[in-house]
Amino acid sequence: MNNLTVTTSSASYPVVVQAGALASLPAHLDALGLRGVLWLICDGAVEARYAVPLAAHLRAAGSTVHTYRVPPGDASKNPAQLGELHTWMIAGGIERRDAVLALGGGVVGDLAGFAAATILRGVAVVQMPTTLLSMVDAAVGGKTGINHPLGKNLIGAFHQPRLVLADTDTLASLPPRALREGWAEVIKHGVIRDAGLFGELEQLAEARGWSESAPGGLWDPADAALTTVLSDLIRRAVAVKVAVVSIDEFERGERITLNYGHTVGHAVEQLSRYGLLHGEAVAVGMHAEARIAQHMGICDGDLVGRQAALLHAYGLEITLPAYDVDAILALAMRDKKVQAKKIRWVLPTSVGAVQVRDDVPEELLRRVLQA
């Protein structure tokens, strides 16, 4: 299978999406000239299953590897944890020719990527996502960062990886809830840019008889036909992210479309104190923002209904939790997409197309969110 390639003004790097990809890491590192010490950062969810054997594999290939485990969960994306990573690497004698390896979900990728971006003013980072969410979104594109008490992902840097190695075999060990949240981002990519992907997701759900009572998209290694189809859909979703990042590395235009569902999503995620997983919050945000588009007359009810049905088919809820509307709007005003004190909303016009609007009336927002 041919690799995908991100090409930006600052970097060009391969994105490998295939079963068993982690085994090829030593060869990739050698091809990239990354022969210094390797600083492997993971969390407890992947340490025993993936980090320990991967470190042993790298050492057998002649590399020096140091491993650090961060606590799982979004709460780890904080200045104190970042400082601990800096201390670990500085005390260990990190050099600029070394590389950071980020193994795990989006939290590890964001945190380790930001550590790599800031230590010694920047060292190489390799992203190795082990969750569906991070494969199709967080690991690709060089966005790194941590959270602030006043908002999510408000402190960070663009730091493109040298390689993204997405081993789809790791999806077999994901809890169902963690796998389901990843499909929100896959569906999002279909809505914003790839109508064919959206249609294939619908066709698979219909063919398999998936419904709200039997959520689809769960990984069954014993079902080779299903895992092959799901792998192809994942790679197609990753291709959307690769294409957008290659057009707009620093989110000055096209890349903002990847934030569809995230304005409301980030707000409810934070109000839930991260009890909602990121993809779960994005699914809620996608439905709310599609309803905003419908009320503004830029999309019809068919899109809203198809999107809602597809999110349900892949096991995602779309009901907005009973949070205070003022609190949601206050957090939305701290969103990174705010410009000139106006929220820039990514709103769907049809399946596969969106537009960015900063003229959504507050009264309409309140009406949709309260409904």
- For residue 56, what pLDDT is reported? 98
Average pLDDT for 134-159:
93
The Cα–Cα gap between 128 and 42 comes to: 10
pLDDT for position 1: 56
Q: pLDDT digit string (tens) for 216-251?
A: 889 999 999 999 999 999 999 999 999 999 999 998
**pLDDT averaged over every residue in the chain:** 94
Q: Model confidence over 103-115: pLDDT tens digits?
A: 999 999 999 999 9
Helix (H, G, I), strand (E, B) or coil at 253: coil
CB contact set of 350 (below 8 Å; sequence gap of 6+): 195, 299, 303
Q: Which distant-in-sequence residues (6+ apart) come within 8 Å of 273 by Cβ?
A: none
So where are the chain's domains?
4-173, 184-370
> Looking at the domain 4-173, which fold is it?
Rossmann fold (3.40.50)
Q: What is the pLDDT of residues 258-307, one digit of tens each?
A: 999 999 999 999 999 989 999 999 999 999 999 999 999 999 999 999 99
**With pLDDT > 90 as the criterion, what percentage of the chain qualifies?**
87
Q: In the prediction, which pLDDT does 73 show? A: 86
Q: Tokens for 234?
A: 């994942």
User: Using CB atoms within 10 A of its CB, is residue 244 exposed (0-12), middle (13-18) or buried (19+)?
Assistant: buried
Global confidence as pTM: 0.93
Q: Which two tokens stand for residue 235?
A: 């790679």
- The model's pLDDT over 17-48, given as tens digits with 9 standing for 90+, comes to 999 999 999 999 999 999 999 999 999 899 99
State the Rg of the chain over Cα.
20
Read off the pLDDT band of 212 (50, 70, 90).
Answer: low
The predicted pLDDT at position 62 comes to: 97
Give all strands of the β-sheet with 99-104 in edge-to-edge order: 4-7, 12-18, 163-167, 124-129, 99-104, 38-43, 65-70
pLDDT of residue 216: 87
Determine the Cα–Cα distance for residues 242 and 108; give it in Å rounded to an integer: 20
**How crowded is residue 10: how many other Cβ atoms within 10 Å of its Cβ?**
10
Q: Which fold has domain 184-370?
A: Dehydroquinate synthase-like, alpha domain (1.20.1090)
Query: pLDDT at residue 215 above 90?
Result: no
Residue 53 reports pLDDT greater than 60: yes
Mean local confidence (pLDDT), 72-98: 96
pLDDT tens digits for range 178-194: 999 999 999 999 999 99
Catalytic site residues?
121, 143, 185, 241, 251, 255, 259, 262, 266, 278
Distance (Å, whole) CA 64 – CA 80? 26
- Do 351 and 202 form a contact (C-beta atoms < 8 A)? no
Residue 214 clears pLDDT 80, i.e. is over it: no
Per-residue model confidence (pLDDT) at position 213:
64
Q: Which whole number is the average pLDDT over 118-132?
A: 98
Q: What is the rounded average pLDDT of the residues 69-73?
A: 92
Q: What is the pLDDT of residues 308-347, one digit of tens each?
A: 999 999 999 999 988 999 999 999 888 777 777 889 999 9
Residue 102 Rama label (left phi>0; alpha psi -120 to 50; beta)? beta
Kindly tell me if the per-residue pLDDT of 86 is higher than 70: yes
